[in-house]
Chains A and B, each alone.
Chain A
């Protein structure tokens, strides 16, 4: 079965712009989580969606937002981009919030210039 698909793979944006990243989970997975990965801070949790509802949110400013659609696809949006938002953004899906672990996408590499 198809894995977790993230688009686009790479993005270059200018400070102040906004960006939308997309994630298609594994078929049947209803939980989608987003993580930010940077060399300095490592992997950090952004938020989790389940059945179109945000269930949990990490410690990121309100510029970071997301949503989930009825087909479980998810998008995350970052507004008013800052240089520090440059990172690899990873999406992960699972059947539910469980101890089965998560399946990750390849990520979207965002560079803010």
Chain B
């Protein structure tokens, strides 16, 4: 079945630094990838949608310059949290979808803690 690998699983960084999170589709071509943010005990909030080779589409209220998304290949999308601050601490989850079927496969998530 479709598998999405997300790395790292957890990361602790200092305030002001940047962190990159990778999302890879291992056995299918992900033409579309989605990035979500989840606060404790809350639902998933869609941050952006990225199509391979195109600029990401960000949801209202999400800072494009802070959350850089790159989807340069059909199997890899990255989310870079730039100049991270403690309020960016959260659980980030990616999901991927292939063009030839309507199904979403989720990564295992990344716990980001900014100190």
Partners in one complex: no
User: Which B residues have a C-beta under 8 Å from some C-beta of A?
Assistant: none
User: Which A residues have a C-beta under 8 Å from some C-beta of B?
Assistant: none
